[in-house]
Structure 1
Amino acid sequence: MTTARPRVLVVHPGAELYGADRVLAASASALATRFDVTVALPGDGPLVGELRSRGLRVVTCRMPVLRNSALRPRGALRLLADAVLGAVPAFRLLRSAGEAGVYVNTLTLPSWPLLARLAGRRSVCHVHEAEQSAPRLLRIGMAVCPALADRVVANSRFSLDVLAQTAPWLRRRSTVVYNAVTAPDEVVPPRAELDGPVRLLFVGRLSPRKGPQVAVATLQELLARGVDARLQLLGSVFEGYEWFEDELRATVAGAGLTDRVEFLGFRSSVWPALAASDVVLVPSVMEESFGLTAVEAVLAARPLVVSDGSGLREAAAGYASAQAVVPGDAVRWADAVQRVVTDWGTFRRAAVADAAEARTRHAQQHYAEQLVGVVAALSGHRDVAVPPLPTPRRPVDPSAVTTAGGSR
């Protein structure tokens, strides 16, 4: 990177390596092809090493992050303290590193667009959330960040629709850019025959909304039907949600499934676990803005079962190896897995074909061109035009996803 290029400040609310964090790394790398990029994070974590390995400059800065805990007195006080104590360092950073604009990743950082305006900087808010069922007060709070930004990027049409329910005028300055998703270096085809137990995999946070409890219940239902199966849970908990992992482990032990359920914890790369699996489960019980883990399963050429609704349906649209199932219904989830087992050859071939399609649909180059176009136009470097809403290579049509288990 050279200092002669326009300076862009990238801001992100965490430093881990889950879905939104990996998307942030892709976004920062894309912007670094045109700008001198500085990434601001609230603290240290594995994302710092990932960004630095890509040649990116990383700084830490105290910042208020809007979460559900802010609705409670203690969380509200912490939010206020972070806002007050982080304002001056943030303002200085905006002045020194945000000459060409500020890219705010997620709508949980409402202070940054406001401070950007005070510092005379333009900002873009990249929306990765779709909290349709959140309390109205929280949804209004989460609309503050994009409302204060000069431009909005949404990671799916569903995310934009949910945002527009609270702030309909934001559609006029919004662009949908589907996430780039890095594919594995080598796609390991599904095994030719399902010899031995069916290997199920859950990837994601161990949290009630992500549905690992549904994955465990699905395993129980399959075993009750005489289907030999095992389950791996790849992921860890948010700080403060340790109680949920304890409950989940107790459920597994109480059901006598300790020898069939493996807690893998967090791993920086999901590909080895995906390559070792047969069927991937994405059983979120609440809405998802997009569904990065679903796309990763497709890229790994693994048959996929997702919750029927929200951005998950949009992410899985057009893939013959994907099935969409009513959220939370373990019986119907087990039905979907049994369909894969019964017709393994068909699902196996479809998964391999879908992996090739997903590489094109979520190519980094396509994503980079669109994102750089938005920021370049925002900053006045208009040699790259702001792209229109992208059209997927296959239409996002509800009938394009195999639906299991009843009407929508």
Structure 2
Amino acid sequence: MIVAHPSPDLYGSDLQLLASIEGFRDAGWAVTVTLPRTGPLVAHLLARGADVRITEFPVLSKSLLAPRRLPGLVVATVRALWTIRRDVVASGAAAVWVNTLTEPVWVLAARLARRQVVCHVHEAEEAQPWPVRALLAAPLLLAHRVVVNSAAARRALTQVLPALARRTELVYNGMEGPPDPLPAARRRPGQPFRIALVGRLSPRKGTDVALEAVALLRAGGADAVLDLFGDVFPGYEWFEDQLRRRADEADLRGAVRFHGYVNPVWVPLGEAHAVVVPSRAEPFGNVAVEAMLAERPVVASAVQGLTEIVTDGTGLLAPVDDAPALAGRLRELYDDPDRAAALAAAGLASARDRFGAGRYREQIAQVLGRTAARRQATR
């Protein structure tokens, strides 16, 4: 089989791809992963027994969908289409797994090569205008099967293209917990309340909301500090500069630390007393699951996939883009360590039951197996 993936990085959908590869390999598949460029993901793919090929192909982004950029996108797609089709045919692959919405050229090329196509959707674009959403989702009408990682992602697709409902299957992300139990999250006397935020520094992830919430906590007398684990997409350096300027203001000075990208996340999570996930949009929310597996209480935005992970009694939710509400939820954990510990324990049990790596690998391999069997039946 061939897996097409748009990024060689090590963030949410990239790390979930590694779990998918493990599921495919467990089921006996020989896997070739195609990336548009090299990067840190390559070594992890090779370690899991996948072949890796670097092939230039267009990857959709918001900037490419701008009217003035669309002609260039069309030209790049046409140029890549026949090369990819030729490579798919030459590979002898029974199926092509397209990992995310951002590679429509692979869906079309695989269909032209008469291969079975699965598209694994990790996006839930509900804020974009309807025409943009429909344009992004339209290539999925060519896929034989669509896998979504949350009900929110499925809703975002079927709202604009109801015909996709019949071919769409929900498989929640799955992940392993820490290799060893982490220390308890309770604060010692005199110790600051450490809040962790793991993820890209971006407006979408609500990093700025977390800073404002911590400023409000401190203004209310809480000895709270914020640890940020993540870096920026190229082109978003302005946002990191904005965050750093805010962190250097008097009410936050010395209370926000920028650690950059960290993997694995277990050491930083083990040092936290709470984890915040203040995203403005979040199709799933791997970090929320990782925090629960680390037995840390989670405060998350009540948005999209996060509401499917953080349920009653397993964590706390706050309205989106609402720093005072987020601060209030964090204050509940600060003031009531027993409740924080109970939420962390319940979150751990829920994450193990609903988002385990073994369950994910089995389900994802079953989807691929059923899709490939369809090709054999029609030959």
**TM class by smaller structure:** over 0.9
How far is 1:381 from its partner? 7.0
How far is 1:144 from its partner? 2.2
- Aligned AA for 2:157? L
State the TM-score, normalizing by the size of structure 2. 0.94
* CA distance, structure 1, for counterparts of residue 343 and residue 251 of structure 2: 35
In structure 2, the residue matched to 1:228 is 223
- Is residue 62–residue 82 contact of structure 1 (8 Å, CA) maintained in 2? no
- Aligned AA for 1:234? F
* CA distance, structure 2, for counterparts of residue 28 and residue 178 of structure 1: 16
Distance 1:365 1:97, change over 3 A: farther
Give ranges in structure 1 of 5+ residues lacking alignment: 1-7, 384-408
Whether 1:125 and 2:119 are equivalent positions in the alignment is yes
CA offsets per residue over residues 94-153 of structure 1, 9 Å max, x none? 113352110011111111111111111110111111010112232112102321111111
How far is 1:321 from its partner? 4.0
Whether 1:50 and 2:40 are equivalent positions in the alignment is no
- Is residue 119–residue 145 contact of structure 2 (8 Å, CA) maintained in 1? yes
In structure 2, the residue matched to 1:406 is none
Give me the identity figure in percent. Answer: 41
Residue pairs, 1:281-292, within 5 angstroms = 281-285=276-280, 287-292=281-286
CA offsets per residue over residues 249-302 of structure 1, 9 Å max, x none? 1111234524111111112211111111111110012x2111111111111100
Aligned length: 374
In structure 2, the residue matched to 1:10 is 3
* CA distance, structure 1, for counterparts of residue 273 and residue 324 of structure 2: 19
How well do the aligned residues superpose, as a CA RMSD in angstroms? 1.8
* CA distance, structure 1, for counterparts of residue 126 and residue 346 of structure 2: 33
Select which of 312, 331, 340 maps to 2:333.
340
* CA distance, structure 2, for counterparts of residue 74 and residue 13 of structure 1: 23
CA offsets per residue over residues 330-358 of structure 1, 9 Å max, x none? 11111111111111122213313421331
* CA distance, structure 2, for counterparts of residue 83 and residue 101 of structure 1: 21
- Is residue 376–residue 382 contact of structure 1 (8 Å, CA) maintained in 2? no
Residue pairs, 1:100-111, within 5 angstroms = 100-111=94-105
Select which of 331, 344, 349 maps to 1:356.
349
The SS at the match of 1:254 is coil
* CA distance, structure 2, for counterparts of residue 134 and residue 102 of structure 1: 28
The SS at the match of 1:70 is coil
- Is residue 82–residue 109 contact of structure 2 (8 Å, CA) maintained in 1? no
CA offsets per residue over residues 164-214 of structure 1, 9 Å max, x none? 001101111111111112211123143343431100111111111110001
In structure 1, the residue matched to 2:32 is 38
Structure 1 stretch 67-76 or stretch 174-183: which is displaced more? 67-76
Whether 1:160 and 2:154 are equivalent positions in the alignment is yes
Distance 1:17 1:260, change over 3 A: same
In structure 2, the residue matched to 1:387 is none
Whether 1:201 and 2:188 are equivalent positions in the alignment is no
Distance 1:382 1:332, change over 3 A: same
- Aligned AA for 2:207? P
* CA distance, structure 2, for counterparts of residue 322 and residue 133 of structure 1: 25
Whether 1:294 and 2:288 are equivalent positions in the alignment is yes
Structure 1 stretch 9-18 or stretch 86-95: which is displaced more? 86-95
Select which of 274, 280, 295 maps to 1:279.
274
- Aligned AA for 2:201? L
How far is 1:80 from its partner? 3.4
- Aligned AA for 1:10? V
Select which of 176, 197, 221 maps to 2:170.
176
The SS at the match of 1:280 is strand
* CA distance, structure 2, for counterparts of residue 172 and residue 92 of structure 1: 30
- Is residue 104–residue 125 contact of structure 1 (8 Å, CA) maintained in 2? yes
Give ranges in structure 2 of 5+ residues lacking alignment: none
Select which of 245, 266, 280 maps to 2:261.
266
